[in-house]
């Protein structure tokens, strides 16, 4: 099934439900629930007992465990009924007990309060909008926009900040009326007042880190095995198989577990990129053959054809509730359709491996701060062996960009905060203004609003070190939530669950606490999986494999196709009408980029992508 067919097939989304719930005022009459399911299509469950009610959309991984803990094995009804029983026993702590992927809402008539939550990593989205005294909620922004009283007005500030690569408010969406519940959090509504509550935290700030010891590393394999099995339990699987360590690791465990459990073998699904620098076809085919898997291989150029990758991505914006984050959607949507046509109901990927198996380069700052010269040399050596970067660049990054620079910035900021707060304020206002390209927000009112809010939402200085600060961003940053939401929307379009074992909450909780030196076991990144792959595929060189980057390819695509896409779109009239982009100023910028400023090539996609999305929404 072609990507455009998938996008137009509104009956395809059987993997996820579409529903809207209404949460009425807390003054609901006795005996009535303030929470009701207004509309539902697909597998969403609801339950009620006395003054309490639950709406549950998702998958419970530990149903049997919950039934046993509640003393009701085999007695509970659907998942909503089981969660309601759990709430009656544990209250808000039921969120600590659940293992799964979900969005849920609970109304407690006894306390006149509501609890709205999504799973810890945010695989399921959850959005809400105030509507008079009511709140409407859903996993779908579009479903909320169809509700009477919910404004479709675009959030101009969020659109402009998107072009500045700033997402300072993790609760906001690209619509003024609609907010998200962030991952790891629940929204508590008590006495009609909402407040966010963090219910899942692998390492709370200010507390000593409970690091994993080397003797505990066997737990990684147990948890990884469990994470893959959770994906396999949901039906025949396809695997988005690249030639990298992450997806190959997932494929190897999936094949072993399918064989041991008598399940059908996975189907390998691969996209081949035309650029030799990021072409992994030999490894993709060798891994599939070595694992005995049937394989579907799509060539990127064959998918996008004359349209080109950039315009195919722009055209894929129709029907999406947020601008796409990358322009590789078309080939992977088509690949998902190929898997579905061959009987797959679930796709598993290696997503999350880069985030949770690797050491952030900001670790260099912590090593410099503690004067750990040996550790810094080891860290740099691991980077050089794991990434295709020159020695001067690696050392520059470690000593300055990710090392001394953030330390100096934090130290100077703390000093100014104490002794010269007015000077610090002027500095921050200048930084905020300089981060906004000259062609963004030509509307003075929008520009002032943009600068003012980014000054007010200036991020806090790391208190537990740069490494832990970066780990926390991997859970809390708005862009992480948006990536999950885009994946969920792709599921809705394709009718295929797309899951990632490396984003399993139990596995992430463990990996979060693995110290950097153990993540880099053997002196290379992703040491927790590298040795096993080298043993399993001795001819593919995984013991010395370096991360393949598609950055150069993406830059070339933007530069080669940018002006053509600009002409085909007819510029950016929608963004101009919103006061978000000055079209003449950006056209000058476009010519400069195409003439050779590769570092700014991403700006082309940012603007064309946002224009395509905005004109579909105006």
Average pLDDT over residues 120-139: 95
Residue 206 inside a domain? The answer is no
Q: In terms of domains, do 541 and 492 share one?
A: yes
Residue 255 inside a domain? The answer is yes
Q: In terms of domains, do 488 and 340 share one?
A: yes
Residue 511 inside a domain? The answer is yes
For the chain, the average pLDDT equals: 92
The tens digit of pLDDT for each residue in 230-274 reads 999 999 999 999 999 999 999 999 999 999 999 999 999 999 999
Q: Which of 501, 516, 546 is the last residue of a domain?
A: 546
Segment among 35-44, 66-75, 125-134 with least mean pLDDT:
66-75
Q: What share of the chain is helix, strand, coil (3-state, %, to 5)?
A: 50, 15, 35
Is the alpha carbon torsion for 281, 286, 287, 292 positive or negative?
positive
Q: Which of 476, 492, 523 is the last residue of a domain?
A: 476
Residue 561 inside a domain? The answer is yes
pLDDT attached to residue 238: 97
What gap in Å lies between CA 264 and CA 258, rounded to an integer? 6
Q: Apex CA 429: angle with CA 581 and CA 439, to 5°?
A: 15
Question: For residue 185, what are its two tokens?
Answer: 């959090």
Q: Which of 166, 198, 230 is the last residue of a domain?
A: 198
Contacts of residue 3, Cβ cutoff 8 Å, sequence gap at least 6: 303, 312, 316, 329, 330, 331, 333, 334, 337
The tens digit of pLDDT for each residue in 298-354 reads 999 898 888 899 999 998 888 899 999 988 888 999 999 999 999 999 999 999 999
**Overall residue count recorded for the chain in this entry:** 618
The tens digit of pLDDT for each residue in 494-553 reads 999 999 999 999 999 999 999 999 999 999 999 999 999 999 999 999 999 999 888 888
- Return the CATH number at 71: 3.60.20.10
φ, ψ (nearest 5 deg) of residue 194:
-85, 145
Range of the domain at 597: 552-617
Residue 115 inside a domain? The answer is yes
Residue 585 inside a domain? The answer is yes
Q: In terms of domains, do 483 and 400 share one?
A: no
Average pLDDT over residues 137-165: 97
Contacts of residue 328, Cβ cutoff 8 Å, sequence gap at least 6: 271, 309, 313
Residue 413: is it exposed, middle or buried by C-beta count within 10 angstroms (0-12/13-18/19+)?
Answer: middle
Q: In terms of domains, do 335 and 453 share one?
A: no
How much of the chain exceeds pLDDT 70, in percent?
96
DSSP 26: T
Q: In terms of domains, do 234 and 336 share one?
A: yes
Full strand arrangement of the beta sheet holding 52-60: 44-49, 52-60, 100-108, 113-118, 185-190, 193-198
φ, ψ (nearest 5 deg) of residue 124:
-90, 130
Residue 487 inside a domain? The answer is yes
Q: In terms of domains, do 299 and 393 share one?
A: no
Count of structural domains within the chain: 4
Q: In terms of domains, do 533 and 559 share one?
A: no
The tens digit of pLDDT for each residue in 378-413 reads 999 999 999 999 999 999 999 999 999 999 999 998
Q: In terms of domains, do 32 and 91 share one?
A: yes
Residue 344 inside a domain? The answer is yes
What gap in Å lies between CA 282 and CA 32, rounded to an integer? 62
Please give the helix or strand (H or E) that residue 240 lies within, else none. Answer: strand 237-240
Q: In terms of domains, do 194 and 52 share one?
A: yes
Q: In terms of domains, do 423 and 521 share one?
A: no
CB of 83 within 8 A of CB of 56?
yes
The confidence band for 107, taking pLDDT boundaries of 50, 70 and 90, is very high
Q: In terms of domains, do 434 and 416 share one?
A: yes
Q: In terms of domains, do 368 and 227 share one?
A: no
- Return the CATH number at 279: 3.40.50.620
Would you say the pTM of this structure is higher than 0.85?
A: yes
What gap in Å lies between CA 546 and CA 56, rounded to an integer? 42
């Amino acid at each position: 099934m072609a990507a455009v067919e998938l996008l137009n097939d509104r009956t395809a989304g059987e993997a996820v439900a579409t529903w809207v719930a209404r949460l009425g005022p807390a003054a609901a009459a006795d005996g009535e629930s303030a929470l009701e399911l207004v509309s539902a299509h697909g597998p969403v469950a609801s339950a009620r007992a006395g003054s309490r009610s639950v709406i549950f959309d998702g998958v419970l991984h530990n149903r049997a465990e919950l039934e046993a803990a509640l003393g009701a094995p085999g007695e509970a009804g659907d998942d909503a009924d089981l969660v309601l029983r759990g709430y009656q026993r544990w209250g808000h702590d039921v969120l600590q007990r659940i293992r799964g992927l979900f969005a849920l809402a609970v109304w407690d008539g006894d306390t006149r309060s509501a609890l709205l939550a999504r799973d810890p990593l945010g695989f399921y989205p959850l959005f809400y909008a105030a509507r008079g005294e009511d709140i409407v909620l859903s996993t779908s922004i579009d479903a909320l926009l169809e509700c009477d009283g919910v404004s479709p007005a675009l959030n101009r500030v969020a659109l402009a900040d998107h072009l500045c690569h700033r997402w300072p408010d993790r609760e906001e969406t690209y619509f003024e009326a609609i907010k998200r519940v962030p991952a790891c959090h629940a929204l508590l509504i008590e006495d009609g007042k909402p407040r966010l509550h963090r219910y899942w935290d692998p390492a709370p700030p200010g507390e000593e880190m409970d690091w994993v010891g080397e003797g505990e590393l066997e737990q990684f394999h147990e948890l990884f095995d469990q994470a893959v099995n959770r994906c396999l339990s949901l039906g025949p699987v396809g695997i988005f198989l690249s030639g990298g360590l992450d997806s190959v690791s997932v494929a190897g465990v999936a094949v072993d577990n399918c064989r041991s459990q008598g399940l059908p073998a996975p189907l390998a699904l691969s996209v081949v990129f035309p650029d030799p620098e990021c072409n992994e076809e030999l490894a993709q085919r060798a891994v599939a053959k070595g694992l005995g898997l049937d394989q579907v291989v799509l060539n990127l150029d064959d998918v996008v054809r004359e349209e080109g990758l950039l315009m195919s991505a722009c055209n894929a914006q129709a029907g999406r509730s947020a601008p796409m984050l990358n322009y590789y959607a078309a080939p992977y949507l088509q690949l998902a359709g190929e898997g579905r046509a061959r009987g797959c109901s679930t796709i598993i990927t290696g997503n999350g491996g880069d985030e949770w198996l690797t050491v952030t380069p900001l670790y260099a700052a912590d090593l410099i701060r503690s004067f750990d010269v040996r550790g810094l040399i080891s860290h740099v050596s691991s980077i050089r062996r794991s990434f295709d970067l020159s020695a001067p660049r690696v050392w520059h990054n470690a000593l300055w960009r990710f090392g001394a620079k953030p330390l100096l910035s934090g130290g100077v900021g703390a000093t100014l905060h104490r002794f010269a707060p007015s000077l610090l304020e002027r500095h921050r206002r200048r930084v905020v203004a300089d981060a906004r390209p000259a062609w963004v927000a030509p509307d003075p009112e929008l520009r002032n609003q943009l600068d003012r809010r980014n000054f007010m939402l200036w991020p806090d200085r790391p208190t537990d070190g740069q490494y832990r600060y970066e780990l926390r961003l991997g859970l809390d940053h708005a862009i992480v939530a948006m990536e999950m939401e885009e994946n969920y929307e792709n599921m809705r379009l394709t009718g295929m669950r797309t899951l990632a074992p490396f984003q399993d909450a139990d596995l992430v909780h463990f990996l979060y606490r693995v110290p950097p030196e153990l993540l880099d076991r053997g002196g290379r990144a992703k040491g927790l999986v590298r040795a096993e792959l080298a043993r399993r595929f001795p001819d593919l060189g995984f013991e010395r494999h370096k991360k393949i980057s598609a950055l150069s390819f993406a830059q070339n695509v933007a530069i080669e196709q940018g002006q053509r896409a600009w002409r085909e779109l007819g510029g950016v009239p929608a963004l101009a009408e919103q006061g978000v982009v000055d079209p003449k100023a950006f056209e000058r910028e476009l010519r400069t980029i195409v003439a050779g400023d590769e570092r700014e090539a991403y700006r082309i996609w940012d603007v064309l992508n946002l224009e395509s999305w905005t004109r579909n929404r105006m």
